[in-house]
Homo-oligomer: A and B are copies of this chain.
Amino acid sequence: MVAHVYERLQKGELNPGDKILESLLAPELGLSRAPIREALRQLVGDGLLSDKPQVGNFVASLSPREIIDAYATRGLLEGFAVAEALESFAENDLEDLEDLCLQMERYARRDKQKELIETGSEFHRFLFNKSDNIQLIEFTQRLSNKLHLLFYKHWSSLYTAEEIRDRQQELVAVLRQKNQALVEQALRQHYNETGQKVARFYAESEEGE
């Protein structure tokens, strides 16, 4: 199943560039190669793996530029989605979002990496939930999977607890103004900053190998 490979990727047992041997995964999961191949194809479609015909599947390895671009694209999509659904954010929705900000701060302070990331995902899922543009949702979901998995390990070390809280709260504050263009711009910048940071962080950690 694809969930198994997801886990392996999260646990860091598989690093970017590593080759995925279907002939190893198959007996490991007690399945034949056919369903394994299907799962791998799906992961390739999600951008988590890259496929070289007649050679094999490899864990995707993004260049700093690709990382930045991927985050920028995510900001573009999410900014548009939220701006379109801006009207449907009621005051109590915004308060829920602010609660999530504070919760994230608490998790960040206590080094609860897993819970922090999960709450962060929930925050953005909440933002997106109001959108009903299926196409947009699908693309964003894919990007989210991709980025989430590739940088799961680093996420919690990018910002301090205060920065996390402030950055998220700023987004909520922009939502309150009910200005579409502003919301788009804010989310783009939000993701651009994170993209830059991830790319830098990633480049440094690659140097040490």
Q: Cβ of B66 and Cβ of A134 under 8 Å apart? A: yes
Whether A73 pairs with B133 at a CB distance below 8 angstroms is yes
Report, as a range, how many residues of chain A touch the other chain. 20 to 34
Which of B37, B45, B66, B133 interacts with A69 by CB under 8 Å? B133
Q: Is A128 an interface residue (CB 8 A)?
A: no
Are B73 and A136 within 8 A (Cβ)? yes
The reply to whether the CB of A80 lies closer than 8 angstroms to some CB of chain B is yes
Once the chains are docked, how many angstroms separate the CA of A80 from the CA of B191? 15
User: Once the chains are docked, how many angstroms separate the CA of A73 from the CA of B134?
Assistant: 10
Distance in Å: Cβ of A45 to nearest Cβ of chain B: 4
A134 contact set on B, CB distance < 8 A? 66, 69
User: Chain A, 22-45, contact with B by CB distance < 8 Å: what is the 0/1 string?
Assistant: 000000000000100110011001
Interface of A is mostly: helix
Q: A41-B41, A42-B41 are in contact. Are A73 and B143 (CB under 8 A)?
A: no
Q: Which residue of B lies closest to A71 (CB)?
A: B135
- Distance in Å: Cβ of A1 to nearest Cβ of chain B: 13
| A136 and B69 in contact, given A76-B77, A77-B76 (Cβ under 8 angstroms) | yes
Docked complex Cα distance between A45 and B139 (Å) = 11
Of the candidates A72, A133, A138, the one having the most CB atoms from chain B within 10 angstroms of its own CB is: A133
- With the chains together, A69 CA to B140 CA distance in Å? 14
Cα of A115 to Cα of B38 in the assembled complex, Å: 37
* Complex CA–CA separation, A72 to B76 (angstroms): 13
Give 19 pairs: A residue, B residue, CB < 8 Å, sorted on A: A37-B38, A41-B45, A42-B45, A45-B45, A47-B138, A66-B135, A69-B132, A69-B133, A69-B134, A69-B135, A72-B133, A72-B135, A73-B135, A73-B136, A73-B139, A76-B76, A76-B136, A135-B143, A139-B139
